[in-house]
């Protein structure tokens, strides 16, 4: 999210979902079953025609009439051709009205040209495979929620500890001094919490990584550097310890109002001990303040196997308002930078959005989950806030998934209840560790209607 608008799962459950990679075969089998059912339909029609022929022959025998074989065969042939034509029409018509390429399946599945239907990858559903297949979320012990103690959080991401498989780390923005979401600046700090009970939590606070002001944490592992990189926005800032108040300050050029512009990094070998590296991307100087991405926030990093790092970001003009935010991309020759924008001079797509979460799938295609700022998205009660974008190449062209909504503000829980949130932003995904990049859990920052507090929510993906 870019809040400048001021605007139990158990380990067993997790392992169950890990074990569902075989369901990708089930998805393929479903597609095959569709094809088999069409062939079965044709076979049934043939049996009907044979039955009719036998009935005609039997009737002529009973009536002691000579068998008119040419007439019988001609009639049967007509019936067979007609009925098989119906079967063919029934099975092939979706191909012209639905998918024709994998892009019609949002690159989250395979287009079956014989049926015109998408076979979605595990974790996705819908005619265009553009909807996350979300399962009910645990109601008790979910995520990182300290609102009963007066502490709010946002921007959460789950990392499975590679050295201790019983530990899940959660990196989040947490607001100091009991401040709510409206005072994210300058009271936000970056923290680490742990869960020993599975990826859905509950998570327990362990340490502060970056003091206020720091926000938008995003963590990736570089196999080349053999280190973890935590990207965030902000700079060390004095805060009022007596009351929560918004404060104007600057971390550098790009945005004078709340000092958020620019992306910095921390580095760690073990996810616990962190070293400050410094700024890796920044906003522009005043001479270029009219550029669409003069203000740079919302780091969305993805480590490329060749050692480079792709960085999605939210950009807007100098001192931008909520109505003018777009998504850009940059590439660094290493996680340390230097980063070069590949979306200049224009955004990736014309739709307004923020909070990009970037990844590359098992086929090499690129994807983003985003918080939509279009008319049916945005802040405060809008329902269709989760969008998916995709491209066959990092350089694009990128397609904004406007045919379906990836997720909404409504969350169903495992006790049968549901909550329609006032705000649900900052999407992050925990993927499988087998190289198939199957989405397992979705995390968001959420705020309930009429509440000032916010917390970090985790929802399983089927």
Residue 315 lies in a domain: yes
Nearest-angstrom CA–CA distance, 239 and 264: 20
Nearest-angstrom CA–CA distance, 10 and 16: 10
Give 35: exposed, middle or buried? Use CB within 10 Å, 0-12, 13-18, 19+: middle
Q: At what angle do helices 69-97 and 23-62 cross, to 10 degrees?
A: 160
422, 411 contact by CB (below 8 A)? no
* Residue of 430, 461, 442 whose CA lies nearest to 16: 461
- Domain count for the chain, please give it: 2
Placement of tokens 């920044």 in the chain: 282
Does residue 288 share a domain with residue 380? yes
223, 303 contact by CB (below 8 A)? yes
Residue 126 lies in a domain: no
Dihedral angle, C-alpha 114, 118, 120, 121, nearest 10 °: 60
Of 94, 120, 146, the domain-final residue: 120
Candidate from 36-40, 104-108, 158-162 with smallest mean pLDDT: 36-40
For residues 252-281, average pLDDT: 86
For residues 301-320, average pLDDT: 92
* Per-residue model confidence (pLDDT) at position 210: 97
297, 277 contact by CB (below 8 A)? no
Residue 17 lies in a domain: no
* Residue of 309, 268, 253, 318 whose CA lies nearest to 290: 318
> Does residue 95 surpass a pLDDT of 80?
no
For residues 301-325, average pLDDT: 88
* Per-residue model confidence (pLDDT) at position 290: 78
Q: Using omega within 30 degrees of 0 as the cis cutoff, is the peptide bond preceding 213 cis? A: yes
Residue 237 lies in a domain: yes
* Per-residue model confidence (pLDDT) at position 100: 96
* Per-residue model confidence (pLDDT) at position 50: 55
* Per-residue model confidence (pLDDT) at position 268: 99
Does residue 426 share a domain with residue 380? yes
Residue 263 lies in a domain: yes
Candidate from 27-31, 148-152, 153-157, 394-398 with smallest mean pLDDT: 27-31
Indicate the length of the chain as a whole number. Answer: 462
Residue 177 lies in a domain: yes
Does residue 280 share a domain with residue 216? yes
Which contiguous run of DSSP H or E holds residue 377? Answer: none
Does residue 322 share a domain with residue 433? yes
Of 120, 141, 159, the domain-final residue: 120
Handedness of CA 141, 146, 148, 153 (dihedral sign): negative
Confidence of residue 48 (pLDDT cuts 50, 70, 90): low
> Does residue 425 surpass a pLDDT of 80?
yes
What's the chain's average pLDDT? 83
Does residue 312 share a domain with residue 236? yes
> What residues form DSSP beta bridges with 118?
111
> Does residue 255 surpass a pLDDT of 50?
yes
Residue 98's domain comprises 23-120
233, 154 contact by CB (below 8 A)? no
Residue 57 lies in a domain: yes
pLDDT over 70 percentage in the chain? 76
* Per-residue model confidence (pLDDT) at position 323: 66
Return the higher-pLDDT residue of 118 and 86: 118
Does residue 48 share a domain with residue 94? yes
* Per-residue model confidence (pLDDT) at position 52: 53
Return the higher-pLDDT residue of 25 and 130: 130
pLDDT digit string, tens, across residues 383-410: 899 999 999 999 999 999 989 999 999 9
> Does residue 116 surpass a pLDDT of 90?
yes
Does residue 289 share a domain with residue 160? yes
Of 120, 143, 158, the domain-final residue: 120
Does residue 138 share a domain with residue 98? no
Candidate from 33-37, 134-138, 354-358, 393-397 with smallest mean pLDDT: 33-37
Does residue 187 share a domain with residue 104? no
Helices (H) and strands (E) in the chain, counts: 4, 25
Q: What values do phi and psi take at 50, rounded to 5?
A: -60, -40
For residues 332-346, average pLDDT: 91
351, 378 contact by CB (below 8 A)? no
Quickly count: other Cβ atoms within 10 Å of residue 220's Cβ: 21
Model pTM?
0.80
> Does residue 45 surpass a pLDDT of 70?
no
Does residue 82 share a domain with residue 185? no
Does residue 307 share a domain with residue 193? yes
Q: Where residue 260 sits, what CATH number does that domain have? A: 2.115.10.20
The structure tokens listed for 76 are 């049967």
Which distant-in-sequence residues (6+ apart) come within 8 Å of 423 by Cβ?
1, 7, 181, 379, 380, 409, 445, 446, 447, 454
> Does residue 77 surpass a pLDDT of 90?
no
Does residue 36 share a domain with residue 141? no
Instruction: Return the SS3 of 230.
Output: strand
Residue 146 lies in a domain: yes
Return the higher-pLDDT residue of 29 and 111: 111
* Residue of 340, 343, 339, 310 whose CA lies nearest to 327: 343
């Amino acid at each position: 999210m870019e809040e400048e608008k001021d605007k139990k799962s158990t380990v067993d459950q997790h392992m169950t979902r890990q074990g569902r990679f075989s369901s990708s075969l089930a998805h393929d089998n479903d597609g095959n079953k569709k094809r088999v059912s069409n062939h079965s339909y044709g076979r049934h029609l043939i049996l009907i025609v044979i039955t009719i022929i036998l009935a005609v022959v039997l009737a002529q025998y009973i009536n002691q009439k000579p068998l008119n074989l040419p007439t019988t065969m001609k009639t049967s042939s007509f019936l067979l051709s007609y009925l098989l034509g119906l079967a063919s029409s029934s099975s092939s018509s979706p191909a012209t009205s639905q998918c024709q390429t994998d892009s019609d399946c949002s690159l989250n599945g395979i287009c079956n040209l014989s049926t015109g239907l998408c076979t979605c990858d595990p974790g996705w559903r819908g005619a265009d495979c553009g909807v996350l297949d979300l399962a009910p979320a645990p109601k008790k012990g979910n995520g990182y929620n300290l609102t009963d103690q007066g502490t709010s959080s946002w921007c959460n991401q789950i990392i499975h500890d590679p050295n201790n498989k019983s530990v899940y780390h959660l990196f989040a923005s947490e607001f100091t001094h009991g401040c709510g979401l409206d005072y994210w600046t300058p009271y936000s700090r970056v923290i680490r919490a742990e869960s020993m009970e599975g990826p859905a939590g509950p998570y327990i606070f362990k340490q502060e990584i970056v003091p206020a002001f720091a926000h938008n944490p995003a963590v990736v592992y570089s196999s080349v550097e053999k280190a973890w990189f935590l990207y965030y926005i902000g700079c060390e800032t004095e805060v009022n310890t007596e009351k929560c108040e918004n404060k104007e300050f600057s971390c550098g050029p790009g945005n004078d109002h709340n000092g958020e512009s620019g992306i910095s990094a921390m580095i760690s070998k073990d996810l616990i001990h962190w070293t400050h590296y410094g700024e890796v991307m920044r906003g522009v100087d005043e001479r270029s303040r009219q550029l669409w991405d003069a203000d740079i926030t919302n780091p969305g990093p993805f480590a490329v196997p060749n050692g480079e790092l792709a960085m999605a970001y939210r950009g807007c003009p100098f001192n931008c308002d909520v109505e003018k935010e777009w998504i850009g991309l940059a590439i660094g020759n290493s996680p340390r930078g230097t980063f070069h924008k590949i979306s200049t001079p224009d955004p990736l797509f014309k739709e307004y959005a923020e909070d990009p979460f970037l990844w590359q799938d098992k086929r090499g295609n690129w994807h983003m989950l985003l918080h939509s700022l279009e008319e049916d998205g945005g802040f405060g009660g809008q329902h269709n806030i989760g969008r998916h974008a995709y491209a066959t190449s990092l350089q694009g062209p990128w397609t904004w998934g406007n045919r379906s909504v990836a997720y909404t503000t409504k969350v169903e829980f495992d006790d049968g209840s549901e909550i329609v949130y006032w705000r649900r932003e900052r999407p992050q995904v925990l993927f499988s560790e087998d190289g198939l990049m199957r989405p397992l859990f979705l995390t968001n920052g959420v705020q309930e209607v009429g509440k000032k507090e916010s917390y970090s929510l985790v929802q399983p993906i089927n």
